[in-house]
């Protein structure tokens, strides 16, 4: 039994993720910004939807959820502490919660920073991390509600995950993030190679995700910061880059 994740482009640069579990056949979707692209992908792939997993309350991550729940009878999963800012939840989760997804389970990780109620989902069966807007390829989320220290601590929670974990982020920001990362680490050979790969993919209008967490550890300056102070300086520099 394993879980796979398929990117569904939405809006101008969002990704929702279609999750399929090959044991019991469970189907989920993560952060649907809008309903129609999700419906098209679902009807082409499975014709059903069991769960809608939300990482945080921003409209470009939740606006499609009510229509999808109504159409498919799917259960909406989200952070209980942020329920007042989310569509009505069927399953409220917190740090360490395990959501049964067919024969697999999604582990909930609280990752405040981008928003205070932000969560990520980790699926050991399939090696998938769904960080929403906490972690991007070669970048991290803006600090709209939390502090740099909170975001640094949140990213550190991913530290025990295997290098081959697939990072399935909420946005296609990789090409612009690469420019900043190269400015910070111009001599990083792994980053130089990754930037060239990204440029080629985007020239063909192909996604740069998912990407392995191991490659991010070698190339993403925010994951390479040694302490909260360095992270804060990087985040401030990126805000003004």
Note the Cα 4 to chain centre separation in Å. 14
- The residues annotated as belonging to the active site are 56, 58, 60-61, 114, 133, 171
| CA dist., res. 69 & res. 58, Å (int) | 18
Number of H helices, E strands in the chain: 9, 14
Domains of the chain and any CATH numbers:
3-172 (3.60.15.10)
Per-residue pLDDT of the chain (241 residues; tens, 9 = 90+): 699 999 999 999 999 999 999 999 999 999 999 999 999 999 998 789 999 999 999 999 999 999 999 999 999 999 999 999 999 999 999 999 999 999 999 999 999 999 999 999 999 999 999 999 999 999 999 999 999 999 999 999 999 999 999 999 999 999 999 999 999 999 999 999 999 999 999 999 999 999 999 999 999 999 999 999 999 999 999 999 9
Q: Give the CA angle between residues 182, 184, 187 to the nearest 5°.
A: 60
* Residue 44: both structure tokens together: 């082409």
Q: Report the pLDDT value the prediction gives residue 137, as an integer from 0 to 100.
A: 98
Burial level of 239, CB count in 10 A (0-12/13-18/19+)? Answer: exposed
**Dihedral class, residue 91 (left if φ above 0, else alpha if ψ from -120 to 50, else beta):** beta
Q: Report the pLDDT value the prediction gives residue 213, as an integer from 0 to 100.
A: 98
**Dihedral class, residue 67 (left if φ above 0, else alpha if ψ from -120 to 50, else beta):** alpha
pTM higher than 0.95: yes
Q: Report the pLDDT value the prediction gives residue 1, as an integer from 0 to 100.
A: 67
Q: In degrees to the nearest 10, what's the CA dihedral of 178, 14, 20, 214? A: 10
| CA dist., res. 15 & res. 31, Å (int) | 8
Q: Give the CA angle between residues 195, 111, 168 to the nearest 5°.
A: 40
Nearest Cα residue to 170 out of 141, 194, 201, 212: 141
φ and ψ of 237, to 5 deg: -65, -40
Angle of helix 35-45 relative to helix 65-72, nearest 10 degrees, comes to 40
Range list of H helices, the chain? 35-45, 59-62, 65-72, 148-156, 174-184, 189-203, 213-219, 221-224, 228-239
Radius of gyration of the chain (CA): 17
């Amino acid at each position: 039994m394993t879980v796979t994740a398929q990117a569904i482009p939405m809006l101008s640069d969002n990704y929702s993720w279609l999750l399929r579990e090959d044991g019991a056949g469970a189907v989920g979707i993560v952060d649907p910004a809008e309903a129609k692209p999700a419906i098209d992908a679902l009807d082409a792939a499975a014709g059903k939807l069991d769960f809608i997993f939300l990482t945080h309350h921003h409209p470009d991550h939740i606006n499609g959820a009510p229509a999808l729940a109504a159409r498919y009878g799917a259960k909406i999963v989200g952070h209980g502490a942020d329920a007042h800012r989310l569509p009505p939840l069927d399953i409220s989760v917190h740090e360490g919660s395990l959501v049964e997804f067919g024969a697999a389970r999604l582990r909930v990780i609280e990752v405040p920073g981008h928003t205070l109620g932000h969560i990520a989902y980790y699926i050991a069966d399939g090696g998938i991390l769904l960080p929403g807007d906490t972690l991007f390829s070669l970048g991290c989320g803006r600090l709209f509600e939390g502090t740099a220290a909170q975001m640094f601590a949140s990213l550190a929670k991913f530290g025990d995950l295997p290098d081959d974990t697939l990072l399935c982020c909420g946005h296609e920001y990789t090409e612009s993030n690469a420019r900043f990362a190269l400015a910070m680490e111009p001599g990083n050979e792994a980053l130089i190679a990754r930037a060239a790969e990204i440029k080629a993919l985007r020239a063909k209008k192909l996604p740069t995700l998912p990407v392995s967490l191991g490659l991010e550890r070698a190339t993403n300056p925010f994951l390479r910061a040694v302490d909260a102070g360095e992270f804060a300086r990087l985040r401030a520099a990126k805000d003004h880059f």
